[in-house]
Amino acid sequence: MELDKIGEYVKEVQDGGTLAVITEDRVAPLYLDRCLRSLRAAGFRTAEMVLPAGEATKNGGQYLDLLEFCAEVPLTRTDGIVALGGGMVGDLAGFTAATFLRGIRVIQVPTTLLAAVDSSVGGKTAIDLPAGKNLAGAFHQPALVVQDPSLLDSLPEDIFRDGMAEVIKYGIIADLDLFSELGDPAWVRAHIGTVIDRCVSIKKSFVEADEFDRGLRHMLNFGHTIGHAVEQLSRFTISHGSAVAIGMARMAEISAAQSWCSEEDRDRIRALLRVWGFDLAVPYPKEAVFRALCADKKRENGGLSLVTLDRIGACRIRPLPLEEVEALL
């Protein structure tokens, strides 16, 4: 798909009317004009809102300002929002669309690798609260996801690498062939569109089986339980991708130690993460990691579900009592 044809794609899901493009100030100079031009050429009225880049923008105050903006445009129930950006914009604009007039159309245009393979698909939208990340949100499926891999060409190397942690995760949980191909970064760069398509189809299959995250969709959290704990302990100075990489390496170690997977698979996972430059040491004592795990919002009555490894390409969800989780760590 091409950003310059977004107007044509949107026509398939919306018959005229207004589109409010929500983006942020690093993405806007790169892609906003092209997006607006194509939408106008296809006959849509447009409005735009450029927010400050960065996770700090994904907050309640900004969310309320966006609702006011939608009312002022004005958007009606047959209009839509275009979320042009990474996961921050996708989550915030998506949550705005989920709640304005009790829900209007959202079109996701991911501009980071993480957004392309993860946050733009699956319908989870959210804002952060002072008490924690993504604590207020809604399920709201996009009417359309415009995947233009050329938008990733402008990504800084570390942001691209962050998204690679999620790509590697898809290989580990569901696709041995994909996993095997990821060892060659030059190949990945040259075939990024294909890689994204394969990740999205894996995510789609889990979301279709469990849209509201009550069971099978937990599988997408491989490496994330420990990853979130590490992210939180670092006060978000360790990036999401780096924290998830640590979490995946740790889960592979735990799985091998329990003979749930082979030592060979554990070593292949650790080696691939190192190829992509991830540091796999857990920089906190295990007691601190355990305490942070206990505060995880996904904790269930008296226990935690860990996604463990059977083999590369197959994982399983294990609901475990907290004492057992502590012992595994």
Ligand X SMILES: NC(=O)c1ccc[n+]([C@@H]2O[C@H](COP(=O)([O-])OP(=O)(O)OC[C@H]3O[C@@H](n4cnc5c(N)ncnc54)[C@H](O)[C@@H]3O)[C@@H](O)[C@H]2O)c1
- Applying CB under 6 A, the residues found at the interface with ligand X are 24, 26-27, 30, 53-55, 58, 85-89, 91, 111-112, 114-115, 118-119, 122, 124, 133-134, 151, 154-155, 159, 162
Q: Which residues contact 237 (CB under 8 A, 6 or more apart)?
A: none
217 vs 102: CA distance, rounded Å:
25
Are 30 and 65 spatial neighbours (Cβ–Cβ below 8 Å)? no
Q: Which is nearer to ligand X, 144 or 261 (CB)?
A: 144
Nearer to ligand X, 66 or 114 (CB): 114
CB 44 to ligand X: min, Å: 23
The string of DSSP codes covering 247-288 is HHHHHHHHHHHTTSS-HHHHHHHHHHHHHTT------S-HHH
CB of 287 to ligand X, least distance (A): 26
Token couple for 258: 């329990």
- By C-alpha distance, which of 22, 82, 91, 20 is closest to 52? 22
By C-beta, is 95 or 179 nearer to ligand X?
A: 95
Residues 6+ apart with CB under 8 A from 318: 305, 306, 307, 308
Task: Using the minimum distance from each CB to ligand X, give the nearer residue, 118 or 253.
Answer: 118
Nearer to ligand X, 109 or 178 (CB): 109
Q: How far is the CB of 133 from ligand X (least distance, A)?
A: 6
Distance in Å, CB of 251 to ligand X, minimum: 18
CB of 200 to ligand X, least distance (A): 12
User: Residue 285 CB: number of other CB atoms within 10 A?
Assistant: 10
- The residue number with the shortest CB distance to ligand X is 87
Q: How far is the CB of 63 from ligand X (least distance, A)?
A: 13
Q: Residue 78 is which amino acid?
A: T
CB atoms within 10 A of CB 146: 21
Q: Which residue lies nearer to ligand X by CB, 60 or 321?
A: 60
Q: Give the integer Cα–Cα distance in Å for 202 and 127.
A: 25
